[in-house]
Amino acid sequence: MTDRPLIQMSAPRRGKPPRHFADLTHDERIDTVREMGLPAFRAKQLETHYYTHLTVDPKEMTDLPAGGRDDLAAQMFPPLMSPLTSLVADGGATRKTLWTLHDGVKVESVLMKYPERATLCVTSQAGCGMACPFCATGQMGLTRNLSAAEIIEQVRLAARASRDGELGEPVRLSNVVFMGMGEPLANYKAVMQTVRALVAPEPHGFGLSARHVTVSTVGLVPAMDKLTKEGIPVTLALSLHAPDDELRNEIVPVNTRWTVDEALDAAYRFYEATGRRVSIEYALIRDMNDQAHRAAMLARKLRERGDGWVHVNPIPLNPTPGSKWTASDPEVEREFVHTLRDHGIPTTIRDTRGSDIDGACGQLAIKED
């Protein structure tokens, strides 16, 4: 007998979003401009407009022939999303935007400005199929996967907003974290296409440093191994939340398919292949997973795999509607951190932004009001 929520690994099939420039490879872009009777080099000009100038507006593309410019832009850049509402917090430095997609499906993303840079928390799926009971998105179920262009457009629009000083002084969008709605490794193809566009040098991509791109997962082991084989040194974050299977089966239901040890082994293989230190995410939930003995068990499991390969990012649980759980007491949180550090595990409490606009980790859920 089980009353556990059902995990949805594959997304319902729905009408596809229109094919967009950002979905295409460089060669497909060349084919498309040629089909429109234009020379191949127009593809590169469009890439410069999109990834470097961050524009899809034909009026800004003055190096293209005035005659066909509008048609070309209409063909290449069909509108994929429009902002419905925005909420700001942290004195204007955090902005959560609710987007509506071509089929009316809604998603959210969160842009966070720091003194010299900005970070986008990007959404890879509408809803999420992983059913973690402490996460608001997990309660929604999975509506559909986003296309690569739907994810990449979130990035372009955030990069543009950061550059144009919409969150204070102009800054560069330097970091992208796949910590918005959805399980990125359950939408593997579109997410990898996005990662490639993020790290490709301009004008073929946004030119971000791979280490500034964080892919966060509940621990889908086969997909983690696939990511390892890509050889792209992104930052991998594993949402562990418990060091023992008994508790993790409850709070991260996918643990019933891939255990704590299996997920940690896959994370270690990623470290071995890329040299990138893995982040272990751990939401501290009062009287659930915050005991010192669990911190010690976590430290032991990490240490037995090696030194210097991992750090732990505890985060006080953000409240979500209808959940009976709350964040750990600050005193308990401190002890948890100290226990990990005493056992030689680098540990930093994760910065949290936007909790008053339900824009913090695990709070993204679409409210129609």
Applying CB under 6 A, the residues found at the interface with ligand SAH are 130, 134-135, 179, 183, 216-218, 239, 281, 283, 315, 317-318, 320, 361-362
The distance of closest approach from Cβ of residue 263 to ligand SAH in the complex, given in angstroms and rounded to an integer, is: 11
The distance of closest approach from Cβ of residue 213 to ligand SAH in the complex, given in angstroms and rounded to an integer, is: 13
Distance CA 315, CA 338 (A): 14
Q: Which of 121, 132, 135, 361 is catalytic?
A: 361
Q: Which is nearer to ligand SAH, 133 or 168 (CB)?
A: 133
The answer for residues whose C-beta is within 8 angstroms of residue 197's C-beta and 6 or more apart is 22, 51, 148, 152, 155, 205, 206
Distance CA 280, CA 218 (A): 10
Q: Which is nearer to ligand SAH, 81 or 121 (CB)?
A: 121
Residue nearest to ligand SAH (CB): 362
Distance CA 142, CA 139 (A): 9
Q: Which of 28, 47, 108, 150 is catalytic?
A: 108
Cα Rg for the chain, rounded, in angstroms?
Answer: 21
Amino acid at 363: Q
The distance of closest approach from Cβ of residue 35 to ligand SAH in the complex, given in angstroms and rounded to an integer, is: 38
The distance of closest approach from Cβ of residue 100 to ligand SAH in the complex, given in angstroms and rounded to an integer, is: 21
Q: Which two tokens stand for residue 177?
A: 């974290």
Q: Which is nearer to ligand SAH, 32 or 313 (CB)?
A: 313
Q: Which is nearer to ligand SAH, 147 or 320 (CB)?
A: 320
The distance of closest approach from Cβ of residue 267 to ligand SAH in the complex, given in angstroms and rounded to an integer, is: 12
Return the H-helix or E-strand segment holding 97.
strand 94-101
Q: Which two tokens stand for residue 77?
A: 């850049």
Amino acid at 98: L
Closest CA to 346 of 305, 314, 304: 314
What number of CA atoms fall less than 13 Å from residue 355's CA on the CB side? Answer: 11
Q: Which is nearer to ligand SAH, 127 or 205 (CB)?
A: 127
Is residue 60 within 8 A of residue 53, CB to CB? The reply is yes
361 is catalytic: yes
Name the residues annotated as catalytic: 108, 361
